[in-house]
Amino acid sequence: MVAEPIWSEPLPAEQVREFLRRAVRAGETPRALGYRMPAEWSPHRATWLSWPHKEQSWPGLFRGIPELWAELVKALIAAGEHVFILAGGDSVFSEAKALVGDLPQCQLYPIPTDDAWIRDSGPIFLSHPDPQMPPALVDWRFNAWGGKYPPYDQDDAIPFHIARLTGRRRFEVPIVLEGGAVDVNGLGTGIVARGCLLAPSRNPGLTEDDLAAFLREYLAIDHIIWVEGMLEGDDTDGHVDQLARFVNPRTVVVAAEEDSSDPNYEVLQNLKEMLSSACDQEGRPLELVPLPMPRPIFIQGQRVPASYVNFYIANRAVILPAFDDPADRLAAETLARLFPEREVVPLPARQLVWGLGAFHCITQQEPV
């Protein structure tokens, strides 16, 4: 039986450190037991989604969002994915059932959620080289990007429900971490958003060393590349899945802005410099590949954080956000070169990004 969540409020920093010390001494961390966070291109058992229902996430433009989810589900199934969807509440479940309930390889679960950004609210799934070991996941605390969008208690409980549904062992951790704040190559190196993890609104009193220790013990990230900066309009304090992503163990695509008058130009130049001096877990320099930025998109007078880096790697495809922009084609061609065995599938994202995220933000992969 999966135990109920045990933390509803942040623990004092010293209690968090003591929690980790005890887990390490007991040999009960994922790292000690041989688990790791696999790269996104590793084979998936399924992709998890939360069905959209919070109209305030797309103020004035929610109409059509559920249909976009249905389009994504169809693309994922065509790409060899099983799709599991959290759709709690009668009206939410009924809508999801009407749009995707009859699709093969799609399963709906009546689990309530506060919002649709399961990359951040959901668990991080782990893999193990020994198939006899039970599958596992990490249940981080979630507080809606530093308390920006309450309520979030139902979203914070998502990993608990998924562990119960899947039978995965659940490693519950008393720190806040959103899935969009970390990207890994599956071999021990991770790109991590310093501003997110160290924000006082997320992990007050904890240091970079404290958080590095949790990443090492719970995701098996031995080598951390800390990055900073965020796009105009971003509300996450700088998630890496808008900025830079591994596409193979040594290659990273990096968002690139060519217009020096654009506010994102300096941010992305600094990001490139950070990554240019970085290396992988064996000390080898990374290969950086620029991924263009679309032209600025404003909705209701607000600039949104549109980025092609927010793609999702499915089993046989790469789901690319398309912004009806001339750079759509170059972004697709770049990813096609980097993923020759996967089809690049552009899906419309101008309306989606009004929610301040795209396809990576609304998906979470479960490895085999």
Where in the sequence is the domain holding 348, given as residue range(s)? 13-367
69-93 as b/e: b if 16+ CB within 10 A: bbebbbbbbebebbbbbbbbeeebb
Tokens for 268, please give them: 């992305």
- Is 8 inside any structural domain? no
Structural domains in the chain (count): 1
pLDDT per residue over 207-262, tens digit each?
999 999 999 999 999 999 999 999 999 999 999 999 999 999 999 999 999 999 99
Does the pLDDT value for residue 3 go beyond 80? no
Give the E-state strand segments of the chain in sequence order.
44-50, 83-86, 106-109, 124-126, 136-141, 169-176, 182-184, 189-193, 223-227, 244-248, 251-256, 287-292, 298-299, 302-303, 312-313, 317-322, 343-348, 364-367
Does the pLDDT value for residue 6 go beyond 80? no
pLDDT per residue over 286-319, tens digit each?
999 999 999 999 999 999 999 999 999 999 999 9
pLDDT per residue over 139-185, tens digit each?
999 999 999 999 999 999 999 999 999 999 999 999 999 999 999 99
Does the pLDDT value for residue 7 go beyond 70? no
Residue in 106, 196, 279, 361 annotated catalytic: 361
CATH number of the domain that residue 308 is part of = 3.75.10.10
- Is 3 inside any structural domain? no
Please say if 196 is a catalytic residue.
no
- Is 312 inside any structural domain? yes
- Is 7 inside any structural domain? no
- Is 5 inside any structural domain? no
pLDDT at 8: 64
- Is 220 inside any structural domain? yes
